[in-house]
């Protein structure tokens, strides 16, 4: 039976840093509030005029190709997970292919908000396991700063810009994407959405003036669901695969709030050293957060390590994946 393994990983963050001190001069907040409530110290911001998420995504893809020694022409498919597409249409994936010189691939976007990476990875794995494709790139590219209101202290400390990409290929070894559980609850959109700019309420002078083209989030509601749903989906996928906490080498949760991560992991019984966290330096980078974290810690991971990835985001959309590391 064919399995789908991750054979390479790379990430890219812009150079510009926005730290808590700088934010506290922009809005009524403090380093102390942000650090204790969310666990973020700094985030990266893409400041190049006229560049969107595809800029970040293409950089991550170029690095991935270089590091895996893969030629651009070998890639058959690129799936881009993003909540911040360059345009309503065409897809950001198509722009990434053009920028990174992927002339033989076809490409499309997936919108599953912060769960986008694991959802897209499951799709890539299905193409590989079925034998339909042999080299697929999943890239999560998020210029979150494009939809953040930097006058709103409730949301502007939370988000950062980043991209990360993985190469997915077939293997006969028992590694790679083993199993996943996903859920969606569309009623959750009232708590986390961009109210205007879509087909329900196209952007207009009025929507812009009302701030409806920025992220709207009712933090406490989202917090509650994020803790419960990442916990239950992680335990669910572990149970389905007869895994206890002792069997799992690392848990890699979506990085939205350090307190959410601590609540999920302590309730599941994971010791701190088994939980990979990098929110302090990047904030919430939506779909990019899990692969960005994996890339940062890849030196600690070894082939055969059993990983649980879990994410929760707008929709609500959430789930967990059992992945056996394969690099
Ligand atoms: O990635 C997608 C999923 N998103 C998430 O998982 C995010 C989930 N939510 C959260 O992480 C948290 O709810 C937040 C970080 C967004 C907010 O933390 P909280 O502990 O839930 O704070 P809160 O919204 O209940 O606000 C508590 C207080 C309020 O003041 P009062 O009403 O108690 O006087 C806020 O006005 O903190 C105030 N506040 C701030 N104070 C200083 C809110 N933002 C700030 C700020 N600086 N930046």
Q: State the DSSP string of 217-236.
A: E-HHHHHHHHHHHHHHHHHH
Question: pLDDT by residue (tens digit) across 204-215?
Answer: 999 999 999 999
DSSP classification of residue 288: G
CA distances, 139 to each of 96, 158, 196, 199, 237 (Å): 9, 22, 26, 26, 24
CA of 220 to the centre of ligand 1 (A): 7
Question: pLDDT by residue (tens digit) across 96-146?
Answer: 999 999 999 999 999 999 999 999 999 999 999 999 999 999 999 999 999
Residues 65, 302: Cα–Cα separation, whole Å? 21
Quick one: tokens of 308?
């649980």
Residue with tokens 């030196």: 299
Nearest-atom number in ligand 1 for the CA of 113 is 2
Where b means 16+ CB within 10 Å and e means fewer, 212-226 reads: bbbbbbeeeebbebb
Average the pLDDT over 297-315 and give the result. 98
Walk across the sheet containing 317-324 and list its strands. Answer: 176-184, 317-324, 306-313, 250-253
Residues 283, 99: Cα–Cα separation, whole Å? 26
Residue with tokens 């939370």: 158
* Probe target for ligand 1 pocket from 219, 259, 292, 310, with the most ligand atoms within 8 Å of CB: 219
Q: Does 1 have pLDDT greater than 90?
A: no
Nearest residue (by CA) to ligand 1, atom 12, is 219
Residues 118, 156: Cα–Cα separation, whole Å? 25
CA of 221 to the centre of ligand 1 (A): 10
Residue with tokens 């701190």: 272
Question: pLDDT by residue (tens digit) across 10-30?
Answer: 999 999 999 999 999 999 999
Which of 114, 191, 213, 257 is an active site residue?
114
* Probe target for ligand 1 pocket from 28, 156, 223, with the most ligand atoms within 8 Å of CB: 223
Residue with tokens 């002339």: 103
Average the pLDDT over 148-173 and give the result. 98
Question: pLDDT by residue (tens digit) across 21-71?
Answer: 999 999 999 999 999 999 999 999 999 999 999 999 999 999 999 999 999
Backbone angles phi, psi at 96, to 5 degrees: -60, -45
Which protein residues touch ligand 1 with a CB less than 6 Å away?
29, 33-34, 37-38, 114, 153-154, 157, 219-220, 222-223, 226, 256-257, 260, 284, 312-313
Q: What is the pLDDT of residue 17?
A: 98
Percentage of the chain lying above the pLDDT 70 cut? 100
- Structural domains of the chain, with CATH: 3-174 (3.40.47.10), 178-324 (3.40.47.10)
Average the pLDDT over 196-205 and give the result. 98
Nearest-atom number in ligand 1 for the CA of 157 is 48
Q: Does 8 have pLDDT greater than 90?
A: yes
183 in helix, strand or coil?
strand
Contacts of 132 (CB under 8 A, 6+ apart): none
Q: Show the beta-strand stretches assigned E in the chain.
A: 3-12, 17-19, 42-44, 77-81, 106-110, 136-142, 162-171, 176-184, 192-193, 216-217, 250-253, 306-313, 317-324
Packed helices 289-296 and 116-129: angle between N→C axes, nearest 10 degrees: 80
215 in helix, strand or coil?
coil
What does the angle CA 214 – CA 262 – CA 309 come to, to the nearest 5 degrees? Answer: 75
Q: How high is the mean pLDDT of the chain?
A: 98
- Runs of H (alpha helix) within 38-151: 53-68, 92-100, 116-129
Q: Does 233 have pLDDT greater than 90?
A: yes
Percentage of the chain lying above the pLDDT 90 cut? 100
Nearest-atom number in ligand 1 for the CA of 257 is 11
């Amino acid at each position: 039976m064919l399995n789908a393994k991750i054979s390479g990983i790379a990430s890219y963050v812009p150079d510009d840093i926005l730290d808590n001190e700088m934010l506290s001069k922009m809005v009524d907040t403090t380093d102390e509030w942000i650090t204790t409530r969310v666990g973020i110290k700094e985030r990266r911001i893409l400041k190049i005029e006229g560049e969107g998420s595809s800029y970040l995504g293409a950089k991550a893809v170029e690095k991935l190709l270089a590091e895996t020694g893969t030629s651009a022409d070998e890639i058959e498919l690129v799936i881009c997970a993003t909540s911040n597409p360059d345009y309503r249409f065409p897809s950001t994936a198509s722009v990434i292919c053009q920028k990174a010189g992927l002339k033989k691939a076809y490409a499309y976007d997936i919108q599953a908000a912060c769960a986008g990476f694991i959802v897209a990875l499951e799709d890539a794995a299905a193409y590989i396991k079925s034998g339909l494709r042999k080299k697929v790139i999943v890239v999560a590219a998020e210029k979150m700063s494009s939809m953040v209101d930097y006058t709103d202290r409730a949301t502007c400390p939370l988000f950062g810009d980043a991209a990360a990409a993985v190469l997915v290929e077939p293997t006969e070894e028992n590694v790679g994407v083993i199993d996943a559980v996903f859920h969606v609850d569309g009623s959750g959109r009232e708590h986390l959405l961009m109210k205007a700019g879509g087909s329900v309420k196209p952007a207009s002078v009025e929507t812009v003036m009302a701030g409806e083209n920025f992220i709207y989030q009712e933090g406490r509601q989202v917090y509650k669901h994020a803790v419960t749903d990442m916990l239950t989906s992680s335990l669910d996928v572990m149970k389905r695969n007869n895994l206890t906490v002792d069997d799992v080498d690392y848990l890699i949760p979506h990085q939205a709030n350090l307190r959410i991560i601590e609540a999920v992991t302590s309730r599941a019984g994971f010791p701190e050293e088994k939980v990979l966290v990098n929110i302090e330096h990047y904030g919430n980078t939506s779909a990019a957060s899990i692969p960005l974290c994996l890339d940062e810690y890849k030196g600690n991971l070894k082939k055969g390590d059993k990983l649980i990835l879990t994410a929760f985001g707008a929709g609500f959309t959430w789930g967990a994946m059992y992945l056996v590391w394969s690099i």
